[in-house]
Structure 1
Amino acid sequence: MTTTKDQLYIDKVINGDASAFAYLVDNYKNMVFSLAYKMTKNKEEAEEVSQDTFIKAFKNLSNFKGDSKFSTWLYRICYHTTLDAIKKNKKNNYTFEINEVTYNQIQSVETILQGIERKERSVIMDKCLMKLADEERSILWMFYYDELSLKEIIEVTNLSEANLKVKLHRARKKLLTIVEKNIEPEMIENYGRK
């Protein structure tokens, strides 16, 4: 499942060429940092988690069997390393009470978001994502931004398929409620009338 080029460098590292690991770090550092940052909401902490992730990956590279993509295996290490870091620093945790979200509310928010310029929409979504609990934000991030399949997210999180689908659905509803509450009223009036 892993790419031939990745496997070549993995084999080199396992056979004693530690410098070959630099290729894997260069290739996946943005992915790892991005996940860590989205989960921790803190640049310094994300950098530390990224470093810890690559150290763990290096030490455990011989355990990588190639059943899944290397990126999925690395993503899983990063996900669990970040969760451990978050547990140590509970002060950054946000929670949000959700009210029942109706289908019409979801539709109206999506209609408004479609009218907002792409760049504005991206900024709004990033701010709203940061208000979700860590697990919800990371699941949405993996599914929508990193475009991991459900199977890959299950590998990363160790959730059952049914549990993942429920969490993904709830996180999406919660995000839409947050978006609805955080879009400036003028934007809703302006774009909602179109």
Structure 2
Amino acid sequence: MPDPLEEVYQAYKNPVFHYLYNMCRNRTTAEELTHDTFIKAIKGYGQFRGESSLKLWLFKIARNTYLNNARKFSQKNEIPYAEPELQVSGTTWNIDTEMMVRQTLHKLTEKERTLLVLREQGFSLSEMADILVQTEGSIKVGIHRAKKKFKEYYLEGEGERK
């Protein structure tokens, strides 16, 4: 009989890692935070009341784990995350674009970055509202503003490269 916690881990480890990697942009840190997220989830599984989906519950834990980790570094006045290692995708244009997107994402606030990353991962407005403990309306407005700000920063970066 398969272990239900192992099944949860196998089903959600990649989406949780992807979210954390997009937030901190460092593979090693994202792996550590993913590990910490699942340890916290396993320890707290008995307190999961089923008021939301297991996926939403895990992403709440992942976000809190990320925020706590970032807070520790900011209290020490350290830079929390090193530049990521690039995944060479074949052409110079793709690498340049990828770097621009990463740099632009890091100009956004944590909340703006979270909104864009969760949306990119396919979360609905309702699910995002549950994870971030906000109304759907504020999520919708936040996404609109984050996209607008992202576009503005991206275009500024494009102008600087020319």
Conservation of the 8 A alpha-carbon contact between 1:139 and 1:168 = yes
Matched residue of 1:147: which SS?
coil
**Unaligned segments of structure 2, at least 5 residues:** 81-92
2:86 counterpart of 1:86: no
**Unaligned segments of structure 1, at least 5 residues:** 1-11, 94-116, 188-194
* Aligned residue number for residue 56 of structure 1: 40
Matched residue of 1:151: which SS?
helix
Please give the root-mean-square deviation of Cα atoms over the aligned residues, in Å.
2.7
Residues 52, 150 of structure 1: alpha-carbon distance in 2 compared, 3 angstrom cutoff: same
Deviation at 1:167, TM superposition (A): 2.4
Residues 89, 185 of structure 1: alpha-carbon distance in 2 compared, 3 angstrom cutoff: closer
Please give the per-residue CA displacement for 1:145-166, whole angstroms capped at 9, x wherever unaligned.
1111111011111123343233
* Aligned residue number for residue 130 of structure 2: 155
What residue identity is the alignment partner of 1:38?
A: N
- Structure with greater Cα Rg: 1
1:136 to 86, 105, 112: 112
* Aligned residue number for residue 50 of structure 2: 66
CA distance in 2, matches of 1:127, 1:32: 21
How do 1:1-194 residues align onto structure 2 when only pairs under 5 Å count? 19-90=3-74, 91-92=78-79, 124-143=100-119, 145-183=120-158
CA distance in 1, matches of 2:79, 2:39: 24
What residue identity is the alignment partner of 1:179?
A: Y
Deviates more, 1:146-155 or 1:131-140: 131-140
Report the count of equivalent residues: 147
- Under a length normalisation based on structure 1, what TM-score does the superposition of the two structures give? 0.64
Deviation at 1:137, TM superposition (A): 0.7
Residues 156, 126 of structure 1: alpha-carbon distance in 2 compared, 3 angstrom cutoff: same
What residue identity is the alignment partner of 1:175?
A: F
What residue identity is the alignment partner of 1:146?
A: Q
CA distance in 1, matches of 2:109, 2:25: 11
CA distance in 1, matches of 2:79, 2:135: 27
Could you list the structure 1 runs, at least 4 aligned residues long, displaced by more than 4 angstroms after superposition. Answer: 117-123, 184-187
**Percent pairwise identity:** 30
- Under a length normalisation based on structure 2, what TM-score does the superposition of the two structures give? 0.75
Matched residue of 1:84: which SS?
helix
CA distance in 1, matches of 2:5, 2:13: 12
Matched residue of 1:60: which SS?
helix
Matched residue of 1:89: which SS?
helix
